Structure formats: structure tokens, C-alpha cells
Structure 1
């Protein structure tokens, strides 16, 4: 019987949290990783591979009732000016998964897209799922293309999928990644006692969602059958915070000075990205429970415990 949940990208920040939480709830999990991860429990079935072809994925999908696609091999900055790199890093594995899913009619799909790179400027209001998507980066364009392929897959084969567009996720276990994730970058700078480089003047506004709150939404989605078709939901706090305000919060939580070095803003960046989580709240009776201050405290405690 196909009762496992397959997690693609289980070695990443979101994937590790998903796999660990699912396993703690007694859900059989198959964790797909590109390289062995010591952070995953030996009790969790882990499969290592590239997962760029349907042949790699098909035998695993036959054992799963759902697949969660969390894998991402690039950042907006890494593929700037390199559209083929975005194709190879992210779009090709997604299309391989869709092709393999054609032979696994019992398996539902939960895909992690991107809220921050899809909507573009929204003139001071929170973006909702019905808004047009206007990605500036090749990374965002790749996410948009993946969403359209998933929609086509569901239409052609009468399948079910949920697409989540998360805002800026953060929390314990999120390591610094060049050009991606201001919170782990800032906390690493605090711990290493080095200046934090900020693109622009710090007035840009973002929406931050604590990882545990995001995982609870994923569990709610997996907790009942997904209706036929493609269903898109923002996953966010709905609260906009300027970068300067975020830095002030980090200084308060850590008790550190955190010196700032300003650099020229990047063309791939957007001034304001805040998402409206109302549809997810209505559909799944979900809402974020962790304030930014509390989430930063939890995250900082994890950082100072690292060697």
C-alpha cells in the first residue's frame, strides 16, 4: 500500500524540518537528498541521488501517497544572467518529477514555489494569489514556469496539487547561504563579529514566517485529500517589516552591535514584498502563531549552540 510521504530536497532547511516533523507524527517518510545528511535520523529512510530523471523517481513514487517538492539548487543571485543554469538547477528536476507522476495516479503533489520572487511590486498592499505574477529574476521565472507546468499536468491527467508560495522562511537549522536569507546571514555576522552587507538603504520591506508555522500548514494540507486541480496558497505572516527594523530586532535579541555596510541595490530585488495569507487561513484554519521577536529568539538560541 502506498502510504509514505516522499520529500524531495529533504537535506535542505525546509525539507529537514518536514521530514523530522512527519516522522515524529508516525508518518512513513522517504527522504530524497543529493548527498548524505548527518542531520537526518538513521530511522528515516533516506535515498541519495540527483533525481533529474523520471526513472530515478518512479519506483519511489509507487510507494508514496504524496510527494512534497522542496528542492531548490539556486538563489535569485546565483542564476542572475544565467537562465540555462536555472533550467538545469530547478526546472529540469521538477519536470522529471511531473513526468514520473504520470505513472503514479494515486500520488498527490505539494510544491514549494516562491512568494517573494513572483509578485513584483504591489503598491503598498499585500499580494494575493489572484494577482498577476511578474518575476524579476530568472529564479522567480523558473518558479513561475514550474507552476504553469504543474497546472498543465493537473489539467491533462485530472490530478491534484497544492502550490505554496512562502514568504521569507526562517528558523533554527537554517545555515547561511550566500545571497539568500537575511536572518541567517545577519545572525552569522553577529556570531562571527563581522559587518553585515546590506543591499540598498535598508528600507525594503519583507514578510517573515517562522519555520514551525509553515510546517503546520504543510501538515494541514497533507491531513486531507487534495481536490482535483491546482490550488495556490500564500504562506506568510502578512506583516511587513523593513530591513532596518529587522536589524534593530536582531540587535535587541542578540545584544550585539552588528555593524552594517551598505552596497548598491540589486536589480533582481523588489522594494516591498508582503503576502496576504487569508486564503490559507480560510481553507485550512491556519494562522502563524510565532511573532517575529519570539522566532528570532528561538533561532538565535540555535545559532549560539553551534560549534
Structure 2
């Protein structure tokens, strides 16, 4: 393996909010595997494609470095347990396909996109960091915790693993068909001149991370994991050492209330968003305060992030184009 050689990268879930921005961030930074589209609606075929592509990645990487960035998953807080079971089978299938030789494993890094909100929903006093107790309140959070354990166990094969517990993502490219993404949903409602429903208290605190910023953080985490792995004496630097697994929170580390979000949108829209406050069983699965702090690799957080107003404006502009195309 050539020192400093960029890793061949497979982005799983490249069509999603985070995945598409990861692919964009990789341009000029690392080669991306020309992977076939995964037919997620056909579980049996999807599993075959994932297994085949995993083996293709190892073969194409040869003696060079490789990395997998797992951004897949359509489940949300209110999704069924069965849907999460299917998603977990996809993850297990891909990981099994990535089981190569010890030498191949030592050249690989796997990133799992997890959910800080799902993991810490019932954990108690905030702010939460990587060492806070975890306590999901919904199947969504338990599914994320299970996935974290699965990739941790898999790392015993020799590859490095980074688990990213990600804050509330927003930005261009949000799937409006999924019942999530407060910023995008409010922007879409504004453009369509319709009210938007909010099912939690306006003093609910969330950390809103702009998806392109998160994508850059993901790639920096992978670079850091590889540099640690290559350093002499670092945990996980040899096949007979303990697995090299790092969990890091990816967030702005500045939570704001939903009321503050609405106030900012009012300034950008130049009119008050039409809001309907309601109640939902899903509300019981939501924490009032999900303030986040990161104590792991803090130097990676020393960066200039996109301001919330700038991120909202970019999201609004993207949605306007998307809705116009849909209408056409």
C-alpha cells in the first residue's frame, strides 16, 4: 500500500441526504467505486447487490486502502420494527462481503452513520457526549444501537470502524416523502403555501447540522482513523490487537429551540410560517433537550461551519428548484 494513497471508497446510500453530499465531498479527495444501484425495494436482490459490491470493492482496491461509508437507511422514529430488521440484514450482508484476509482488513475503514437523537433520547441530563449513557426510546434508536454493536463486533476482523452519532441533519437534497427534517418540511410548506404541523413543544432543543458540513466531517474522521491505524503502537495497528473502533458525535454543538428555528425562518421568508401545533404518539419518543458535545477528536470540530441562516437559504433555494421540476 502506498503511503498517502487515497482510499477507494464505496458510499452506501449515496442517494440520501448525507450520502449525496459525501459523494460530492469526495471529488478530488478519493476515488469512488463505480457501484451498481442498490434496489432497496427488493430485499433479496438488494442483499445480493450489497454482497457482490462488497467483494468487488476489496478486489478493486487490491493492495491499496479502501473505505466504506454507510449512509443507508430509510427508517425514521415512527417506522416499524420489521423495516429496521430488514435494514439490519442489509448491513450484515455488506459486512460479511467485506470479510477478506487480515491484510485486506488492515487497509480498510468502515464509517457507520448513526443517530445521536435516537441513541440519547431517554438518557437523562444533557448535553450528551460520547461517554454519556445511551437510552433509546423508540425502535429507531434501538436499531441504531444494534447497528453500532454489529459493526463493533465486525471490527474484530481487523478493519477500523468509526461510528458517527450525527445530530439533526438538514440541507439540500432532503427526501420530503420521509416524515422528518423540520427545516426542509417548513421550507416546503412555505413554498407550497400550506401550513406545517409540529408535534413537539416549541422549546424543544435540537442541534441542526448542515449536511455538506457533516459530509466533510465524515471524511475527516476517516482520515484520522487511518492515520491512527498507521501510527506505531496505536490501538488496532496490528491484527492481533484489540479492534480499532471510535465513536464520535458529529454536531454543531450549539442547540437551538424549535421556536428559534421558526423565528429565523420568518426572517428569511419575510412572513410568519403557518404552523399547526398538535399531538402525536411519536412525541413520547422524542427528548425535550438533545444538546450535544464532542470529547473525541475535538480538533476535528475546530472548523468554520455554515451558519444556520445560510444553510436554510440554500435548502430553500434547492427545494424551490425541486418543486418547480416536480410541478413541471
TM over 0.5: yes
Cα deviation, residue 302, structure 1: 2.1
Closer, same or farther: CA 216–258 of 1 in aligned 2, 3 Å:
same
What is the root-mean-square deviation of aligned Cα atoms in Å?
A: 2.3
Distance 1:217 1:71 in 2: 17
Contact 2:204/2:289 (<8 A) preserved: yes
Closer, same or farther: CA 288–107 of 1 in aligned 2, 3 Å:
same
Give the secondary-structure state (helix, strand or coil) at the position aligned to 1:200.
coil
- Higher deviation after alignment, 294-303 or 181-190: 294-303
Q: Structure 1: state its 5+ residue gaps.
A: 37-48
Contact 1:117/1:140 (<8 A) preserved: yes
Cα deviation, residue 215, structure 1: 1.5
Contact 1:213/1:288 (<8 A) preserved: no
Closer, same or farther: CA 200–222 of 1 in aligned 2, 3 Å:
closer
Cα deviation, residue 296, structure 1: 1.2
Match runs of 1:182-221 below 5 Å: 182-221=182-221
Contact 1:209/1:288 (<8 A) preserved: no
Contact 1:172/1:302 (<8 A) preserved: yes
Match runs of 1:140-289 below 5 Å: 140-154=141-155, 156-224=156-224, 225=226, 227=229, 228=236, 229-265=244-280, 266-282=283-299, 284=300, 286-289=302-305
Closer, same or farther: CA 128–84 of 1 in aligned 2, 3 Å:
same
What is aligned with 2:240? none
Distance 2:172 2:195 in 1: 22
Give the secondary-structure state (helix, strand or coil) at the position aligned to 1:66.
strand
How many residues end up aligned between the 2 structures? 289
Q: 1:19 aligns with which of 15, 20, 23?
A: 23
What is aligned with 1:132? 133
Is the strand fraction higher in 1 or 2? Answer: 1
Is the helix fraction higher in 1 or 2? Answer: 2
Distance 1:31 1:56 in 2: 7
Is residue 59 from structure 1 mapped to residue 56 from structure 2 by the alignment?
yes
What is aligned with 1:44? none
Q: For residues 105-149 of structure 1, what are the alpha-carbon distances to aligned partners after superposition, in whole Å with 9 as ceiling and x for unaligned? A: 232101101111101245553100011111111111111001111
Contact 1:127/1:275 (<8 A) preserved: yes
Q: Which has the higher Rg, Structure 1 or Structure 2?
A: 2
Give the secondary-structure state (helix, strand or coil) at the position aligned to 1:162.
strand
Contact 1:191/1:304 (<8 A) preserved: yes
Q: TM-score, normalized by length of structure 1?
A: 0.86
Closer, same or farther: CA 285–205 of 1 in aligned 2, 3 Å:
closer
What is aligned with 1:42? none
What is aligned with 2:239? none
Contact 1:126/1:274 (<8 A) preserved: yes
Give the secondary-structure state (helix, strand or coil) at the position aligned to 1:140.
helix
- Higher deviation after alignment, 95-104 or 241-250: 95-104
Give the secondary-structure state (helix, strand or coil) at the position aligned to 1:132.
coil
Distance 1:21 1:195 in 2: 35
Give the secondary-structure state (helix, strand or coil) at the position aligned to 1:245.
helix
Cα deviation, residue 256, structure 1: 3.1
Distance 1:10 1:78 in 2: 21
Closer, same or farther: CA 296–110 of 1 in aligned 2, 3 Å:
same
